[in-house]
Structure 1
């Protein structure tokens, strides 16, 4: 019943609280030690908690214990271990694992000092008892995790301790441990697969840091096991890890021996490596991908050895390479169960496994690119000659291998294509086969996608053999590509088609109008009310619009013809936009409003995307398209006054304006005041934050051309910012606080752009009251807000203002403002207790105010020194000798001297 559940929860909570008390109490661990040694409790969770309390004591408070108490913990663990030998039922796995962790913690704490016989004591207790062996192996894995786990970040002190522990183990007990592993394998190889696997896992973990010669016998026993238990997948997965670890460790040894010129030992090691190659190949080709994946590291490293011996042992190596190539090609193949329409975890794992195989293929290419090319060519040609009667996975992998050659072959793939057919390379022949075989019509998505990926990757083939472009274009445009039954294929093809057209824009001229006609239906804006399911998503349509723009802009047509084509492309968008905007203004239902707003946003986005086709060589003006985009602006801007779905619509129009500022140059300027006015109405922090970069872009690009506009909208923009920043918010509302911080940064970035673009007069020409308010906000940003990014920006602004206004031409009263506020700002922030002079960002921040001081000194000279020496610094209770040092450093001609002195000054001057 519910009441019983509540009672259980209450009891569990009380139990947890009790054990937490035991952890922190002085003698709680002794209660737990006694409970474990005397087997007082049968409840699994209580036993687990007892181990947790001991773990806490060893980890955090062990040094506080007396010698007798430490001895008690050692005896408790050994007593508990002895009891397990007699226990008819083994403990639950989670208890055994926790016990192993506690043993391992005690090991790293005591092995070097008080318990050098740690492993011998454990081995004398467990002998070959199966429950004891299980615990012994778990303890060994826990010890390895403490010493060498690469996922754990160790302090330098822990790293030194771990090195010393491993060195001592190698000296004192590793031979005995290896002997115990050998005995375990011999005892349980036929009767207990789980213990055998555990033992192999231990060997695989330790093999990276113990003497390999010790485990030669072990490997022989392991190889025997391999042939006896070839059907045991769990065993083979661990066994392959062991062989991989041994192989890689041997190769590391071989590399070191070769470098030290110990050729005799290197040769012996090489023989030991080669003795495992046949086994490596068997594991690599295994039908289980986990087993195969575990051995790839060994195979990859071994290929590096083959590369070094290629010239001397070419005939011996040739057959080995072929065997590895065949294994890789076979393992790249999808299996029947792969779910292409709904890829899950298994599919993701296979994709990662394929990436590992690709690395092997790349390494094979480094050893012998000719051999790899010949092998791929043979598989590719054989498969494509009869693709209609071949299973999809074999066709896909044949094309995939051709695709992978692009990165595997050491020469850039472009160099493999020649306009001279007599010099055509193997790669060129394979590409010709690919595009003429008809394989693009294969009825499986994996083959279709691989076909399109490959033709796009080898686009240089089409520059030397352009006669094949029409065939590929048709494949993109018909049921094989953009009109395929699979949404996944249509989506990927939309992206690949845009890449294909972009890369071959010079070869596209004969096909431009035909392609534009054929993609017309794919460009249609899908309105929300008719329920029509478009072939492409709006994201996919972006690529098609960009492709259409690229075809028009890069064509060899006249400006007039380009204008006609661009107008044909964009007019339907503008007409649909007007209709949808009217519908939105009248829409009552929230869902319908959102759907219409999304559609409007897509229309603006599509128009924006077409403009990506223009460049410095092909500007909007040169292509005769200015008028079309100005019409778009006139069409889209009225949406800014729509009171519904403001955030969505403003975002789209703002993005379009960003693009037009780049593309239309000064022609966009007449639209900016009206657009800004609309975007400043009913603003939230996020709206302003996204609007300010637009103004920054205009200011930085057009500079004095926009001075009158900036003059006019400066204070309205600032009032909108101040109003949002001053709005009260909940004390713990982190999101609102972050939004305000980001808006404050955007505000200061705007002021930095204005002053940095040579338009400080925009600030200076405001009312005196407003100028003062702006200056005070900059001072506030420099001193009061604990935000190093904003502070640095504020000091950059201040230094610019001092540079521009610090002389006689500055606004009335600015010199006084410098004395009263800017100079104190340069001192107050670094002198705060919260100011961390060790922080890297802080050092940058301190550097930024050096400019302020230097400029101030440059303009004010002796007057500045007098003010600092006689008035300001004494008011901060800075010692006279420190004041003198500061003023002397400021007058040094070398800025580095002053910069180095500053940190010392602030450390000494802090109260």
Structure 2
């Protein structure tokens, strides 16, 4: 082997040498003699002692490839040479003064295991005898022996590795033969290693314990679960270097699959031994890592007892099941000590058993008093463990914070299950917690207050539906939640200085919004809380942001009780509704742009739902919107002034203004969004016009459309205008129509693939609402829209390897086809009829291309559906002759060509829908053109081009004439046969 070249495999500084080394490495792996070069190099004492660790590893990989690919069918001499190498490898390991690195030892052990699964038991029946004889050679040999056993477990037993049936049968044969011949000897060797090296080489002991835990799954349990091994394991549990491995080993013993009665005896025997030895005294131990291992063992004991109970119950053995349940119950106090441990890792380790215990109790008709006391203890543990640590860092999304939040979710799930088990207990204990905490919130830690509010919130989630909405105007029917909410809103806890408590308070207010409908006297103080320094003016931006959203939810819920407060609230919101000067930047505002939109929505809702006459509503809405429009006009003028009139004028000055223009565009877009959100209270039924605010929103539209003065309209401005027009389409009537042409000019002025994809749904929305009223606009705008779309698609076609560009292009293609479908589906055929014949032909051909050439079943379905509808409208005897010619030259062939394409997946659900539309398209042609005309065309002209014989052609035409449902079924089968599927 070229050892010098191989050393470059791990040298990224010399790319050429590394490339040559990789090529040589691949050559060795594929060569018939590469493995022999590798073995000779590794067992040569002089070379082996000086080999680079990574070169050794690469040499072992070459050997591994040979064993996996060729060893099974190799010659006896080659197999003997491999065994000779393994023997010499052992001698090399025991003779060298310094052991190889762990990754080399593990790879070598894997090679032993790979040879083992090929040769054992037929070609190498004495494998384990030979291996056991090496143990007398010392610790290095023992280390190799243990690693080989672990590698064999991975190859033969590990259930996480998928095996073929042939491999599974081989593994069964191996395990059966091992049980019959050598397992007892292996177990004796393990005991010997554990006993001899207990103090002198704890690494070997820990490795051995891992082996015991791995092999116990399929060997006789009595070989391990006996006094000699158990005494050792208990002794190891008292020794610092060994106890974690011993606990893991005991866990694996307990987890072994067994008969439920035998399993119960085993578990109880081990538990009794551990308890008598004082191992389970959790309170005296402060080693968290070890406690996690011990907790894992107890968790496994509990789960195994639960599994045994379930099996016995299912078998109808109620007496044994009852005895198992008593044993399980006796483990609960210890489990709760682990659950309540101050370290969350220890606590989380027993969570599965605790959840399973609650599930078992839920299966009982009723729980007894002792069980109820255990559940109550559990509830107090949940209360305590839910509390944040004082040092929890709320403003950082670190790993520790994420782990605790995930742990909290588990506690919440546990709480919910306890609530299902004993609703009254949970209700009473949470009430006690709330009543104890809220009156003294000023002197309580934030963790205590936050936990009390959290459980008040969770109570509403956990209580069953039978509790209704928890609140009633009749005190006799009110649930326990009602007085708790009264206490929450009366005690002043909303002013607690910690943001976690503040957020909990406002989440509660919105969670129990129905409370305010029966206790409206609390609306006013709650509004004050939202609006003051503890709410939307809080020092913490995360609090301000969340509260802005919650405030909109709250106002919407209690709007019927807001009449007396509307004007005062609007005044208090004024400073939050100001669009800051662009030079200040959005970061200086109390609220971000997105958060401010919720305030505009809330203000609009307050005005529209208030008990005002139409003129007052209009004045209030005008006072809300006008400042935005004034700011928009000023910023737009500045943007126009800073925008180059043509690309030729771009220079150093423009480069300096580019950042400013981006800020201005963002602010202009936000202004349009703000006015749009203020209209969210309006609907089709409660229109802007009926509310007296028509002039306000039409004026806003006029101001926004001044953006057409820009030489180039940027995407942010187009997005803001689209959002505004979407809203106006919903809540304005025909008053919107005169503005649509100008709006389209703005939206099409700088048309990219993305902007056009967003523009077409707006036009489709306008078509769906106004139908015939939009014909004049569409007639004029159709050709420019189509031209813009085709130009954008053509310009984007160059980016063939850009996945994002491909998806945007596909989105625009779908949008385009939906646009044509909207026109045809709404019966606006005069729009198409008025177009130049070349434009119309281009559109019709594009529909056929979309049906046939684009491997996009969604677009294909739309295209076939639109073609069918065109046939139904124009395809009759009195239809345009040009279209009838198009039917036979383009549409009929499309119905065959599309399903014959390899990209047309007949097993895909979306594609099946496109196929169905294709079949309906042919049926529509049959109905509109008549049986004789279409059948004659198919039999005499088209079907022969598909190389169909006379019988096949006649069968197809007969099916086409038959029932529609039968034809659709035949149609799919026809193309499956045609494509040989």
Could you tell me the TM-score, scaled by structure 1's length? 0.90
Contact 1:406 1:413 in 2 (8 A): no
The aligned residue for residue 601 of structure 1 is 669
From 47, 57, 66, the equivalent of 1:48 is 57
How far, CA to CA, are the matches of 2:20 and 2:750 in structure 1? Answer: 54
Following superposition, the deviation at residue 585 of structure 1 comes to 1.2
SS for the counterpart of 2:680 is helix
1:770 aligns with 2:770: no
How far, CA to CA, are the matches of 1:88 and 1:326 in structure 2? Answer: 59
1:797 aligns with 2:881: no
Please identify, of 417-426 and 335-344, the stretch whose mean Cα deviation from structure 2 is larger.
417-426
From 292, 296, 299, the equivalent of 1:237 is 292
Contact 2:858 2:911 in 1 (8 A): no
Please identify, of 257-266 and 500-509, the stretch whose mean Cα deviation from structure 2 is larger.
257-266
Please identify, of 651-660 and 546-555, the stretch whose mean Cα deviation from structure 2 is larger.
546-555
How far, CA to CA, are the matches of 1:103 and 1:619 in structure 2? Answer: 81
The aligned residue for residue 884 of structure 2 is 815
From 314, 317, 320, the equivalent of 1:265 is 320
Give the 3 Å change call, closer, same or farther, for CA 882–606 of structure 1 in structure 2. Answer: same
How far, CA to CA, are the matches of 1:162 and 1:252 in structure 2? Answer: 31
From 664, 667, 670, the equivalent of 2:732 is 664
How far, CA to CA, are the matches of 2:592 and 2:16 in structure 1? Answer: 53
Following superposition, the deviation at residue 906 of structure 1 comes to 2.1
Please identify, of 132-141 and 466-475, the stretch whose mean Cα deviation from structure 2 is larger.
132-141
From 490, 493, 503, the equivalent of 2:544 is 490
Equivalent residues in 2 for 1:103-118, closer than 5 Å: none
Following superposition, the deviation at residue 362 of structure 1 comes to 0.6
Please identify, of 402-411 and 784-793, the stretch whose mean Cα deviation from structure 2 is larger.
784-793
From 446, 449, 459, the equivalent of 1:392 is 446
Deviations 1:276-311 (A, max 9, x none): 322321211111112211211110110112233462
Give the 3 Å change call, closer, same or farther, for CA 105–633 of structure 1 in structure 2. Answer: farther
From 846, 871, 886, the equivalent of 2:956 is 886
Question: 5+ residue gaps in structure 2?
Answer: 1-9, 177-214, 643-653
How far, CA to CA, are the matches of 1:841 and 1:165 in structure 2? Answer: 48
How far, CA to CA, are the matches of 1:134 and 1:443 in structure 2? Answer: 62
Equivalent residues in 2 for 1:193-212, closer than 5 Å: 193=241, 196-198=243-245, 200-201=247-248, 204=251, 210-211=257-258, 212=263
Please identify, of 165-174 and 472-481, the stretch whose mean Cα deviation from structure 2 is larger.
165-174
1:189 aligns with 2:237: yes
Give the 3 Å change call, closer, same or farther, for CA 79–278 of structure 1 in structure 2. Answer: farther
Deviations 1:757-811 (A, max 9, x none): 1123322332222222211111122222333222222111111111222212322
Please identify, of 869-878 and 40-49, the stretch whose mean Cα deviation from structure 2 is larger.
40-49
1:21 aligns with 2:68: no
How far, CA to CA, are the matches of 1:262 and 1:480 in structure 2? Answer: 61
How far, CA to CA, are the matches of 1:501 and 1:804 in structure 2? Answer: 50
The aligned residue for residue 823 of structure 2 is 754
The aligned residue for residue 704 of structure 1 is 772
1:329 aligns with 2:376: no
The aligned residue for residue 405 of structure 2 is 351
How far, CA to CA, are the matches of 1:659 and 1:807 in structure 2? Answer: 40
Please identify, of 525-534 and 560-569, the stretch whose mean Cα deviation from structure 2 is larger.
525-534
From 338, 352, 361, the equivalent of 1:283 is 338
Give the 3 Å change call, closer, same or farther, for CA 644–828 of structure 1 in structure 2. Answer: closer
Contact 1:889 1:901 in 2 (8 A): yes
How far, CA to CA, are the matches of 1:201 and 1:219 in structure 2? Answer: 14
How far, CA to CA, are the matches of 1:342 and 1:468 in structure 2? Answer: 35
Give the 3 Å change call, closer, same or farther, for CA 148–609 of structure 1 in structure 2. Answer: farther
How far, CA to CA, are the matches of 1:173 and 1:236 in structure 2? Answer: 29
Following superposition, the deviation at residue 451 of structure 1 comes to 1.4
The aligned residue for residue 417 of structure 1 is 471
How far, CA to CA, are the matches of 1:783 and 1:425 in structure 2? Answer: 64
Give the 3 Å change call, closer, same or farther, for CA 375–84 of structure 1 in structure 2. Answer: farther
Please identify, of 677-686 and 160-169, the stretch whose mean Cα deviation from structure 2 is larger.
160-169
How far, CA to CA, are the matches of 2:790 and 2:12 in structure 1? Answer: 53
SS for the counterpart of 2:391 is coil
How far, CA to CA, are the matches of 1:682 and 1:50 in structure 2? Answer: 62
Following superposition, the deviation at residue 570 of structure 1 comes to 0.8
How far, CA to CA, are the matches of 2:408 and 2:141 in structure 1? Answer: 40
Give the 3 Å change call, closer, same or farther, for CA 177–258 of structure 1 in structure 2. Answer: same
Following superposition, the deviation at residue 129 of structure 1 comes to 6.1
Contact 2:632 2:668 in 1 (8 A): yes
Deviations 1:249-295 (A, max 9, x none): 33233223212212233234324423432232121111111221121
Following superposition, the deviation at residue 830 of structure 1 comes to 2.3
Equivalent residues in 2 for 1:368-383, closer than 5 Å: 368-383=422-437
Give the 3 Å change call, closer, same or farther, for CA 325–861 of structure 1 in structure 2. Answer: same
Larger radius of gyration: 2
Give the 3 Å change call, closer, same or farther, for CA 858–199 of structure 1 in structure 2. Answer: farther
Please identify, of 442-451 and 618-627, the stretch whose mean Cα deviation from structure 2 is larger.
618-627
Following superposition, the deviation at residue 645 of structure 1 comes to 5.6
Following superposition, the deviation at residue 336 of structure 1 comes to 2.0
From 883, 899, 911, the equivalent of 1:830 is 899
Give the 3 Å change call, closer, same or farther, for CA 417–861 of structure 1 in structure 2. Answer: same
How far, CA to CA, are the matches of 2:429 and 2:500 in structure 1? Answer: 22
Deviations 1:141-171 (A, max 9, x none): 9947996777x8x588599779969996866
Give the 3 Å change call, closer, same or farther, for CA 491–731 of structure 1 in structure 2. Answer: closer
From 854, 858, 865, the equivalent of 2:935 is 865
Give the 3 Å change call, closer, same or farther, for CA 92–754 of structure 1 in structure 2. Answer: farther
SS for the counterpart of 2:417 is helix
Question: 5+ residue gaps in structure 1?
Answer: none
Following superposition, the deviation at residue 540 of structure 1 comes to 1.1
The aligned residue for residue 438 of structure 1 is 492
Give the 3 Å change call, closer, same or farther, for CA 70–449 of structure 1 in structure 2. Answer: farther
The aligned residue for residue 516 of structure 1 is 570
How far, CA to CA, are the matches of 1:123 and 1:785 in structure 2? Answer: 67
How far, CA to CA, are the matches of 2:725 and 2:592 in structure 1? Answer: 24
SS for the counterpart of 2:881 is coil
Contact 1:456 1:496 in 2 (8 A): yes
1:903 aligns with 2:972: yes
How far, CA to CA, are the matches of 1:116 and 1:616 in structure 2? Answer: 85
Give the 3 Å change call, closer, same or farther, for CA 674–236 of structure 1 in structure 2. Answer: same
- Number of residues paired by the alignment? 903
1:365 aligns with 2:419: yes
How far, CA to CA, are the matches of 1:79 and 1:271 in structure 2? Answer: 58
Contact 1:32 1:54 in 2 (8 A): yes
The aligned residue for residue 689 of structure 2 is 621
Could you tell me the TM-score, scaled by structure 2's length? 0.84
Please identify, of 594-603 and 140-149, the stretch whose mean Cα deviation from structure 2 is larger.
140-149
From 539, 558, 562, the equivalent of 2:617 is 562
How far, CA to CA, are the matches of 1:181 and 1:36 in structure 2? Answer: 39
How far, CA to CA, are the matches of 2:158 and 2:709 in structure 1? Answer: 64
Give the 3 Å change call, closer, same or farther, for CA 468–87 of structure 1 in structure 2. Answer: farther
Contact 2:292 2:345 in 1 (8 A): yes
Contact 2:714 2:750 in 1 (8 A): no
1:647 aligns with 2:715: yes
Contact 2:851 2:861 in 1 (8 A): yes
How far, CA to CA, are the matches of 1:203 and 1:51 in structure 2? Answer: 35
Deviations 1:330-349 (A, max 9, x none): 11011122112223221111
1:296 aligns with 2:351: yes
Give the 3 Å change call, closer, same or farther, for CA 123–617 of structure 1 in structure 2. Answer: farther
